[in-house]
Amino acid sequence: MWLGLALTYFLLCRASELFAYADGLVHPEFCLTRNSLTFYRGTERVGIEDRALADSVQVDFIASKGDQNRDGRSITRGRSPLGPDGEVPVGAFEAVVAILDVHPELPGNAPLLTRQTPSGWRVITRTEGVAALRVMVESIGLNPAHFALHSGRIGAATQMAAQGLSALQIQHAGRWKSQAFMVYVRDTGAEGAKEVSRALAQKGEGKVSNGLCLRNGE
């Protein structure tokens, strides 16, 4: 669950790109699967089974809410460098690899947040994701009612704005079809940018540094 919520921040994912609806079904085009991932070592492509050797991952969004023409969008995220004290930081690359490592036996068409339950395989639902996020948020003294699955996405956009990226760059990164999202960025403020990642890091028994969740535990 932690890893799925982390990807809403690191990849600016919409809920439909990771989580199932209440009925357990996922969007057939929007939801990321293992087939959405391509790993590289330098410029050489490596198989998903050799992901431990890779230094970057390409994530392919074949369609999204903001992609009315179904043009698709690909983004690449590299392995995070070690921290100054040897900490292993968790960024998009590390979160993706860790998700795959949970159930390496799953086929390529399995959604990223597929998990095993007593009744069989199923995808984590939005309701479950929101509930887990609000528990994390409440644990660090924030009002859980102010947070939902889009909070990671908005928090990442706000952090990018605080770091000086242009509205166009943020729009491209988040796959927004307009710059209307900037209203949320301005309302949240630069300090609010770290709240979601702070909650996620607290759950991981780590700390937040420069927008990265540094986790010491699983």
Q: Each residue of 60-97: pLDDT tens digit?
A: 999 888 777 788 899 999 999 877 887 778 899 999 99
**Alpha-carbon gap, residue 125 to 169, rounded angstroms:** 30
The CATH number of whichever domain residue 199 belongs to comes to 1.10.443
Q: How many domains does the chain have?
A: 1
pLDDT in tens, 175-192: 888 887 777 776 554 444
**Alpha-carbon gap, residue 79 to 137, rounded angstroms:** 27
56 is in which domain, residue-wise?
2-214
pLDDT in tens, 160-177: 888 888 888 988 888 888
Contact 2, 206 (CB under 8 A): no
Contact 133, 5 (CB under 8 A): yes
* Residue 19 DSSP class: -
Largest CA distance in the chain: 48
